[in-house]
Structure 1
């Protein structure tokens, strides 16, 4: 892979460009060019969450990809929904898609549709001003018991984390199954996420497949390993 083919890094719920601060320098040191687009409401963007839906994030990523048809798009966790929508709507906009412990959308169904009424009711009950706050330390350890996020990591994350707009959970991402016809697709499973973020069979889907001995946020807890698996798949 050459530096004129950028690696575009998109984090999952609550994350922004800051979440890649430990990974991007490693990629850059290996001669690669990284991009960390600012999606509305994430990081220091002040767009009201109630005004933001999945389509807005798809538009933000699509804008970042403009002029970079040979880019590798790396999507973590919920960003799998965003990346899948970008690939379906702009099939020639990226060269490769790398999904890191990503949630995989189902055609015609929103994240809430897939997760079911119980999860939808719980998440909605937590919502405030059109968004769902990120986990407390107790919630994080209950839902992801082997997350490997240290107290220092968590304190750093809390300085930057943002709530997730409800609108991103209510809109379907794709109308047809995600496939590797228009771009090379790879999936990276974090082995310490239980249950898995997605039930992926690389052979069945025809995707390349890798694993990381890490929790669900490997860019925070295992940045060197995360960078190297990205380099491997983007080569």
Structure 2
């Protein structure tokens, strides 16, 4: 049995893992899916939330138990990287799912600007103070074009606001802390939000990252949950 902490991406909450959590628990793991500060029903004002806020929160969760496999989806890759810098002793392995891997001083916005595809940016609209929301119709095609109509509608209802600073604040990671940790990456071949080209570019800048592939869109925890859970179990089993 392993401890697993799941970190969602932008405009989302812990509910984005609803199909994955029971599959991992059925495999015998201790699984925690968290909702980041400023997301969903969390009372933290979005204008007060940045990447450092996320990292401090996740580091606190990590310290409340044994070392964990820390899993991040999309923006969650920024979060797990920054949290691992704060508490590397609490991380057994970092696992990225169609996620951002920052170099020191890079923000999510820095990385997303390097891809030519519009991705999710075409769906972004002004939201509450210090935050954005997504136009659901435009977002669906970028996030989960491979979802059934039923899954698509359920996922759209789960979208929430996204604190701006969470995407523009740069990550601080060092070779001495974050850089000592083993990493695995699950590359999504049909991704329209974080394109495969960008995913591969980030991997090229992070040598030594173990890489796997899924033939799906940006949100495999929604559209390919059994395959993703099986792959996570394989990664964890091989690392244990």
* 1:39-62 deviation per Cα after TM superposition (whole angstroms, max 9, x unaligned): 112232232211211111111111
Asked if the contact 1:68–1:94 (Cα under 8 Å) also holds between the matched residues in 2, the reply is no
Q: How does 1:1-235 map to 2 (within 5 A)?
A: 2=1, 5-116=2-113, 126-128=125-127, 129-141=129-141, 143=142, 147-176=145-174, 181-194=179-192, 195-196=195-196, 197-199=198-200, 200-201=202-203, 205-235=207-237
Instruction: State the distance in 2 between where 1:70 and 1:139 align.
Output: 35
Please state how far the C-alpha of 1:180 moved relative to its aligned partner. 7.2
Distance in 1 separating the partners of 2:20 and 2:176:
27
Provide the aligned C-alpha RMSD in A: 2.7
**1:178 Cα shift?**
9.8
Judged with a 3 Å threshold, the aligned counterparts in structure 2 of structure 1 residues 138 and 38 are, in CA distance, closer, same or farther, namely: closer
What TM-score results when the alignment is normalised by the length of structure 1?
0.85
CA change 1:177–1:102 in 2 (3 A) is farther
Residue deviations 1:111-153 (CA, integer Å, cap 9, x gap) = 233444998xx78x83332111124223432x45x73123222
Alpha-carbon distance change, 109 to 204 in structure 1, aligned in 2, over 3 angstroms: closer
Q: Separation in 2 of the partners of 1:182 and 1:45?
A: 32
CA contact (8 A) 1:112 1:170 kept: yes
Q: Decide whether the 8 Å contact of 2:98 with 2:199 is kept in 1.
A: yes
1:11–1:79 Cα contact (<8 Å) kept: yes
Alpha-carbon contact 1:8-1:36 (below 8 Å) kept: yes
Provide the rounded CA distance (Å) in 2 between the counterparts of 1:41 and 1:178. Answer: 30
Contact kept? 2:13, 2:35, Cα under 8 Å: yes
Query: Matched residues in 2 for 1:219 and 1:32: separation?
Result: 17
C-alpha deviation, 1:106, in angstroms: 2.7
Aligned residue pairs, count: 227
Q: TM-score, normalised on structure 2?
A: 0.84
> C-alpha distance in 2, partners of 1:26/1:42?
24
What CA distance in whole angstroms lies between the structure 2 residues aligned with 1:88 and 1:40?
Answer: 19
More strand by percentage: 2
User: Which runs of structure 1 show a deviation greater than 3 angstroms over 4 or more consecutive aligned residues?
Assistant: 113-119, 175-181, 200-204
Q: In proportion to residue count, which structure has more helix?
A: 2
